[in-house]
Amino acid sequence: MKKTTMPFGTKPFAILVWLFVCIIGMQPNASAVRIAAGALPDVNLFPPGTFSKMNSLNCDMIDIPANGTNPPGKLQAVVYDGLDAFGFPLTGLRVRVFRTGAPTAWTTFALPIGNDARNIDVAIVDDPGATLGQDFYIVVAYENSITNNVEWGFLTATGVGFSPTPWGLLVTGGGFINNTNPARNPHIDAAADILYPVGGGTHYALSDFAIVWEEPHATVIGGSDIGYATFHVAAGITPSPSYTMSMPTHAYEPDVACRGHMIPGATGPTYTLYISYKHVLPSGTSEIRMHEVGADKIGNVWPGPTTIVPPPPGTVSNTYGYPRIEAIVLGDVFPTLTTYNIVSDYLSPTGTVREILNYNDVNGLATYSVNPAVNDFRPVVAGVGRDANAAGLVVFTDKLFVVSHYTEDVLAPHTVGDYSSFSIDLLGGTRTVPVDDYQVNTNDLNIPMPAASESCIAISSSSNNGDGLFTVWFDGSSSPSNGTIKIKTNIFNTNFNYKTTGIENTTAKGYSIYPNPATDVLSLKGANHATYSIVDVTGKTLATGNIHGTGNITVSQLAPGTYILNLQEEGENYKVKFVKQ
């Protein structure tokens, strides 16, 4: 689940200092920065066996400032659309407050139309008409399976900044967005507004949001268009009229990322909608597009340019999955200082496995593969922030996107897999290719393969300051011990990964291997007195040895493929995946 993220603790003067640092003194990094987060547990959101299938799963999180004796915390929300153990629809919204060492219990709320909701998304926004940083709206967008319309609803969360209980969720409201055409696949995102002082600090209010959806084309029989509407939050929520792009003829799977300009009293656009979607061409192949729309607080919109994402090199057929988009703001008093990132899976040039592409407006296209022999499915993206102190001022110095996805197990391809994450650093505007892929789930999954049709994962940072990481996923249904939604949170620091098993341990130890892929020699750096073994995907040991400091391991005798380098040192075991070309 993507969210617009803001540099936190930043005042207008600090933003200018940040700009000075970026323009004059900042140099691009040559490699990604990896920060070990420590093993975090998988937590069941429901008892195992609750779900037999998951259709959609999304989440959001917003920062809560400290108030009185209450420490700062997070307000978290999860929406789900699945089938229960007997095959009947089971949908809903769960919310909680998470403070240091004292998370409240999850509270469940039915959606306005109960279990008839499908393809649900959620965003948490401020209520500027009440007490900023303490009162929020939890907004949901969903497809009504009875009327075939896209609808929205909300709950009010009052007094959250004072106490985690009682919730004070008081009001249910909302209504139809479009009432003339059938619609489906809605997505929602919020835009940060102006900076407000809260509790001696600062708080970026999220008082605007947008919803996008897919609907039948008005003039092309059998075609599909993208609709959208904007919403302003003040004393209540005011929706704009509904709009359609009317440019694509066969557009599907839209997503939206909002980015506010923070320009008080502006007469033109005050925030931008970045709308991504898959466009099917007459030839039957597809392309990914991104359309920009400017919007203000009274419902006016300014359609902007459309960008076509170039296909990955060597692809025979551009068979894309579901594109997802996220935008990050960089001191947005200067509208050009932003970036958006689009991710999707696609059929690789070999036509045998699915890989991941990333496209942004600064660096263009890049492709990633956790392992060239296995499939990577359905990536999602969240933008997060890292702060650094410069000249006594806290300024935003780094952009980071975390991409999570489902990947087949390298040791048992086409049977089961894991959810994984990697990060894309954009320090100084230079994209750094990820070198590690962090496993998200600690417990085993039971998701049928090879289609991975049950894979569902969503991630969010705090949408008003970019801090922390909140991940939810479905763990499969082919085992009695599964069939639930699991969550993992890493929210009170700026470590944006989940260190669990395998290659993550090599980062904590300080090992590095290169080149990867390798042809003749694999170099290992950082070992003291380690023993190693090389194992293939069947578990067969092919080579063993000892290594000290920086050394070379001969791999020329190995057949092309994927291998595991097992390292044992000081009573601990570490694993590194590598590819032999």
- Reported as a single tens digit per residue, the pLDDT across 328-355 is 754 433 344 567 889 999 988 877 788 8
State how beta strands 364-368 and 376-390 pair. Answer: unpaired
Residue 451 banded pLDDT, cuts 50, 70, 90: low
pLDDT of 397 strictly over 70: no
| Residue bearing tokens 């809903």 | 92
Q: Which of 3-7, 84-88, 190-194, 281-285 has the highest mean pLDDT?
A: 84-88
Residue 450 banded pLDDT, cuts 50, 70, 90: low
Backbone angles phi, psi at 22, to 5 degrees: -65, -45
Q: Can you tell me the distance from the alpha carbon of 364 to that of 382, in angstroms, rounded to the nearest whole number?
A: 18
Beta bridge partners of 521: 554
CATH topology of domain 521-580: Immunoglobulin-like (2.60.40)
Closest CA to 239 of 129, 180, 153, 181: 153
pLDDT of 404 strictly over 70: yes
Give the per-residue pLDDT at 1. 42
Give the per-residue pLDDT at 91. 94
List, in sequence order, every beta strand (DSSP E) within 370-484: 376-390, 393-408, 417-425, 438-439, 457-460, 469-474
Give the per-residue pLDDT at 159. 74
Mean confidence (pLDDT) of the chain: 74
> Nearest 5 degrees, angle CA 79-CA 80-CA 85?
150
Which of 226-235, 238-247, 532-541 bottoms out in mean pLDDT, i.e. has the lowest? 532-541
Q: Which amino acid is at 257?
A: A
Could you tell me the residue ranges of all domains in the chain?
A: 12-29+49-501, 521-580
User: Of residues 526 and 105, which shows the higher confidence score?
Assistant: 105
Cβ atoms 310, 364 nearer than 8 A: yes
Give the per-residue pLDDT at 164. 36
- Reported as a single tens digit per residue, the pLDDT across 414-440 is 567 788 888 787 766 677 766 567 778
* Domain 12-29+49-501 identical in fold to domain 521-580: no
Residue 316 banded pLDDT, cuts 50, 70, 90: low
Q: Can you tell me the distance from the alpha carbon of 292 to that of 511, in angstroms, rounded to the nearest whole number?
A: 43
- Proportion of the chain above pLDDT 90, given as a percent: 20
pLDDT of 235 strictly over 60: yes
Residue 203 banded pLDDT, cuts 50, 70, 90: low
Closest CA to 570 of 516, 487, 505: 505
- Proportion of the chain above pLDDT 70, given as a percent: 70
Torsion sign, CA atoms 273, 274, 277, 280:
positive
H/E element, 506: helix 503-509
* Average pLDDT score over residue span 308-331: 80
Q: Can you tell me the distance from the alpha carbon of 289 to that of 188, in angstroms, rounded to the nearest whole number?
A: 18
Diameter of the chain measured on Cα atoms = 70
Residue 537 banded pLDDT, cuts 50, 70, 90: low
Give the per-residue pLDDT at 76. 92
Q: Can you tell me the distance from the alpha carbon of 362 to that of 262, in angstroms, rounded to the nearest whole number?
A: 22
Q: Which amino acid is at 74?
A: K
Closest CA to 457 of 499, 436, 486, 480: 486
Closest CA to 343 of 351, 352, 355: 355
Query: Hey, what's the torsion of the CAs at 28, 6, 38, 544, to 10 degrees?
Result: -30
Which of 319-323, 483-487, 497-501 bottoms out in mean pLDDT, i.e. has the lowest? 497-501
Q: Which residues contact 520 (CB under 8 A, 6 or more apart)?
A: 554, 555, 556
Which of 75-84, 170-179, 524-533, 544-553 bottoms out in mean pLDDT, i.e. has the lowest? 170-179
The three-state DSSP-derived secondary structure of 27-73 is CCCCCCCCCCCCCCCCEECCCCCCEEEEEEEEEEEEEECCECCECCE
Residue 581 banded pLDDT, cuts 50, 70, 90: confident
Q: Can you tell me the distance from the alpha carbon of 346 to that of 315, in angstroms, rounded to the nearest whole number?
A: 9
Give the per-residue pLDDT at 41. 76
Give the per-residue pLDDT at 77. 94
pLDDT of 377 strictly over 50: yes
Q: Can you tell me the distance from the alpha carbon of 228 to that of 216, in angstroms, rounded to the nearest whole number?
A: 13
- Reported as a single tens digit per residue, the pLDDT across 61-81 is 988 877 767 777 889 999 999
DSSP-derived secondary structure for 195-237: EEEETTEEEEEEEEEEEEEEEE-SSSTT-EEEEEEEEEEESEE
Give the per-residue pLDDT at 21. 26
Cβ atoms 210, 240 nearer than 8 A: no
User: Of residues 296 and 77, which shows the higher confidence score?
Assistant: 77
pLDDT of 390 strictly over 50: no
pTM reported for the whole predicted model = 0.77
Give the class (CATH, top level) of 12-29+49-501.
Answer: mainly beta
H/E element, 18: helix 12-20
Torsion sign, CA atoms 556, 559, 563, 565:
negative
- Reported as a single tens digit per residue, the pLDDT across 91-128 is 999 998 887 656 778 888 888 788 999 999 999 988 87
Give the per-residue pLDDT at 251. 94
pLDDT of 399 strictly over 70: no
- Reported as a single tens digit per residue, the pLDDT across 10-41 is 333 333 222 222 322 222 222 222 223 345 77
